[in-house]
């Protein structure tokens, strides 16, 4: 495999959520690709939070771009200067009101390495305890519930649990519990 060589880069959008740039790239055979769009986004975290009875804490929320309500794992964006573990703990608390006594990192993988620069960091959380009320962002309307892994699999089959990255995280974590 031969890495591409970046000849030029032009920022098209640069805000707190993402940066979109148009690059001019040279392939190893000399061919030029222009423009090649790259989306830079912050790192993301997913939390596979498992209760003592084996059920998984899932959240349900509206997703504007696709105009759908999705069931998924708790998670979100890693804020600037924040560790991925701190982000996972914060997101679980904010979205569900739960904390966990045990946190195990379970891998890092790319959202879409063809176009995006960010990774998803998966954590398995155990020892769940309700600590507070949810503290949602203005754009969030989230409900939480517990589901047995077989129920989550059924939600995946029905399309209710439909975000591919959350599906990947679910099955990656399920393999370890």
pLDDT at 138 (0 to 100): 80
Question: Same domain for 21 and 70?
Answer: no
Q: Are 13 and 64 contained in the same domain?
A: no
User: How many domains are contained in the chain?
Assistant: 2
Look at residue 25 in the predicted model and tell me its pLDDT.
98
How does pLDDT run across 4-39, given as a tens digit for each residue?
999 999 999 999 888 999 999 999 999 999 999 999
The verdict on 83 and 25 lying in the same domain is no
Nearest-10 Cα torsion for 21, 27, 30, 32: -30
**Per-residue pLDDT at 140 exceeds 90:** no
Q: What is the pLDDT of residue 148?
A: 97
- Residue 141: what pLDDT? 86
- Each residue of 82-118: pLDDT tens digit? 999 999 999 999 999 999 999 999 999 999 999 999 9
Residue 17 and residue 90 in one domain: no
Give me the mean pLDDT over the 122-136 stretch.
Answer: 93
Q: Are residues 68 and 114 in the same domain?
A: yes
Whether residue 175 has pLDDT greater than 90:
no
Residues 85 and 163 in one domain: yes
Distance CA 42, CA 32 (A): 28
Question: Looking at residue 95, what is its pLDDT?
Answer: 95
- CATH value at residue 156: 3.90.79.10
Name which residue leads in pLDDT, 28 or 141: 28
Is 80 exceeded by the pLDDT of residue 177? no
Q: What is the mean pLDDT of the chain?
A: 95
What is the model's pLDDT at position 38?
97
pTM of the predicted model as reported, rounded to 2 decimal places = 0.92
Q: Which of 67-76, 134-143, 146-155 is predicted with the least confidence, judged by mean pLDDT?
A: 134-143
Same domain, 51 and 14: no
One domain for residues 31 and 68: no
Is the domain of 33 the same as that of 57?
no
Domain that holds residue 26: 5-40
Same structural domain, 78 and 109: yes
Residue 130 CB-density burial (10 A; 0-12 exposed, 13-18 middle, 19+ buried):
exposed
Provide DSSP, 41-58.
Answer: ---EEEEEEE-TTS-EEE
In the prediction, which pLDDT does 176 show?
79
Please answer whether residues 20 and 116 qualify as being in contact, where contact means their C-beta atoms are separated by less than 8 angstroms.
Answer: no
- On whether both 71 and 117 belong to a single domain, the answer is yes
- The answer on 27 and 87 residing in a single domain is no
Least Cα distance to 48 among 109, 83, 91 occurs for 91
């Amino acid at each position: 495999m031969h890495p591409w060589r970046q000849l030029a880069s032009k920022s098209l959008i640069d805000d707190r959520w993402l940066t979109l740039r148009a690059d001019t790239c040279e392939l190893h055979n000399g061919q030029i690709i222009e423009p090649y769009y790259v989306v830079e986004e912050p790192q993301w975290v997913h939390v596979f939070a498992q209760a003592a009875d084996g059920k998984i804490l899932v959240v349900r929320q509206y997703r504007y771009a696709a105009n759908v309500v999705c069931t998924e794992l708790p998670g979100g964006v890693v804020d600037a200067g924040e560790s991925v573990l701190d982000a996972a703990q914060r997101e679980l608390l904010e979205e569900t009101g739960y904390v966990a006594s045990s946190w195990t990192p379970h891998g890092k993988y790319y959202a879409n390495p063809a176009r995006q620069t960010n990774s998803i960091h998966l954590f398995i959380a155990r020892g769940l305890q309700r600590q507070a009320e949810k503290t949602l962002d203005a754009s969030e309307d989230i409900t939480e519930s517990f589901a047995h892994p077989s129920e989550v699999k059924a939600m995946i089959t029905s399309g209710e649990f439909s975000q591919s990255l959350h599906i990947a995280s679910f099955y990656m974590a399920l393999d370890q519990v």
